[in-house]
Every structure is written in structure tokens, then in C-alpha cells.
Amino acid sequence: MSETSKMLFVGESVSKDRLNVVKTKGIESIVSTINVVSGIADSADSIVAFGKDVKSLGLKWNAKLSLLPLYNSVLAETGADNRMFVRKAERGGFENMHKLFTKLAGESAAPDFVQIDVETYTELEGITVSFEEQTRMINAIINAVKAACPECKIILGTKESTDNEKAKKWYNRFQVSGGKHFDIISLSYELSADTFYDLSCNMSDLSRRFEAEIIVDISSQDDITSSDIGLEDLDSAISIVPLERGFGAVYSDKIMERATMVA
């Protein structure tokens, strides 16, 4: 297998002992979800502790932000007033993320990567925000992270892993709308021979077009034994992304448990 990075999605947290076990299986980075709420920095002890555990083992940490809880609380306050909602969501996103990541940095527990899933902004119920407004809200998060943790790499994740037209349209619009710099594109994917070629073409095009590294996230699959595409096939496809921009793949913890049992 190639030298592409192997990342493990563990949800919100996992024990340090478990982290140590998966490290022995070649995992280099841990992906966990941070549920973002107003005032998150004031009750972030568990987030800090998890970051310290990851760092103490020499692993890297990708903090995947779940922003809907914060945005829904803003929506409950503003109602369907777009202008007020976007203004408060933008400010709340920046303030809460800046405080949290400043705290993490001060405790030597800052993530190496922060991921924002772009579909978040179309999943809001009760309000529709324009693409320019979405861009402002994303920029606020990126600005907050970078202000507190300038070395942190920004990942923009999408479910459009096999539809290149939709994927490139979104990232093009983001750049045209004044979107801030990002480093990595994460493509959420389920292994399948029927779509594997489309995934490969999408990885190649996006990496060149936006000068970004590519991650393929298959963490939604807990069992791939029946799949007609294996981890070796995925790893090979990532390794040949142009200009060595194939960063790696994200696996589920259950896949790794099976790998541990049969290793």
C-alpha cells in the first residue's frame, strides 16, 4: 500500500487506550466531531482532554465541526429574518470558535485540521440563505480558527464525491463569492465499483482546479466485506491523484476493529 494518510473517525471521543491500539494499526490521524453550541468554550474540558490524549500519542487530530446546533439556536432567536440570522450566525460562529480554539491552543491541544461540511448550510430548516451568505458564515469560522491556530489546515467537506459538475460548481462559487483559503477537500463516499471511476475523476479534477489536497471519507461504512472495491483499491486511487495531492482516507472505527481482530 502507498504512503497516503490513514485517518480514523471516532465520533465525539474515544478512550486513550483505544487510540493507542489503533495507532499500532497504522492510523496517523483521528477524526472526531465537535458539536458546536453557544458558550462551548465554557464547557470544553472534555474536548481539551481529548485533544491532549491525541497529541500525547503523537497522532494528528481533525476536528469536524457540527455547526447545526449553533445555527439552529440562532434561528430560534431570529426567526426567518435572513439578514438578522446571517449577521448573528456569522458573529456567533466567529466568537464561539475563536474562544474554543484559543482555549485549545493555550492547553497545547489544538487540532491539526478543522473540517466544515458545506452541506450544513442547505440543511437549515425554516430559512434559506443565499450562497454569498453561506460564504460569509463559512468565512467567519475559518477566520476564527486561523486567528487562534494559524497552523491549522482547513478542510471543506462535501457529499458530492462522484458528481464532478456539482462539486466543482460549489467550490468555484465559493471562491468567486470571496471564500477564504482552504487546504483540503474531503469527499464523503461509499465504496462501489459502479462509482469508483467517477470518484477518481473528481479527485483528479478538484485537486488540480483548486490546488487542494484530497481526502476520501468512507467512515459511513462500518463493513466493507461485501464491497466490490477494497481498501487497497481506494488507497491506490488516492495515491495517484495529480501532484501528490491525494492526502488519504477516513475509515470508521468498526472497520478498524475488524482489521485489528484479523491482523
pLDDT at residue 261 is higher than 50: no
Task: Give the pLDDT score at 11.
Answer: 82
CB of 37 within 8 A of CB of 70? yes
**What confidence tier does 245 reach under pLDDT thresholds 50, 70, 90?**
very high
Of the candidates 89, 246, 161, 85, the residue with the CA atom closest to the CA atom of residue 170: 161
pLDDT at residue 262 is higher than 70: no
Task: Give the pLDDT score at 72.
Answer: 96
Residue type, 203: M
**What confidence tier does 263 reach under pLDDT thresholds 50, 70, 90?**
very low
CB of 31 within 8 A of CB of 62? yes
Region 90-108 average pLDDT: 98
- Distance, in Å, from the CA atom of 245 to the CA atom of 88, rounded to the nearest integer, reads 36
Query: Please, which residues have CB within 8 angstroms of residue 250's CB and are 6 or more apart in sequence?
Result: 7, 8, 9, 31, 62, 186, 215, 216, 217, 218, 219
Task: Give the pLDDT score at 226.
Answer: 83
- Distance, in Å, from the CA atom of 197 to the CA atom of 187, rounded to the nearest integer, reads 14
User: 11-64: per-residue pLDDT in tens?
Assistant: 877 899 989 998 988 899 999 999 999 999 999 999 999 999 999 999 999 999
CATH architecture, range 5-262: Alpha-Beta Barrel (3.20)
Task: Give the pLDDT score at 1.
Answer: 36
Of the candidates 165, 208, 207, 209, the residue with the CA atom closest to the CA atom of residue 186: 207
pLDDT above 70 covers what percent of the chain?
Answer: 97
**What confidence tier does 259 reach under pLDDT thresholds 50, 70, 90?**
low
DSSP 8-class letter at 119: G
- Distance, in Å, from the CA atom of 155 to the CA atom of 142, rounded to the nearest integer, reads 10
86 phi-psi bin (left φ>0, alpha ψ -120 to 50, beta other): alpha
More confident residue, 230 or 144: 144
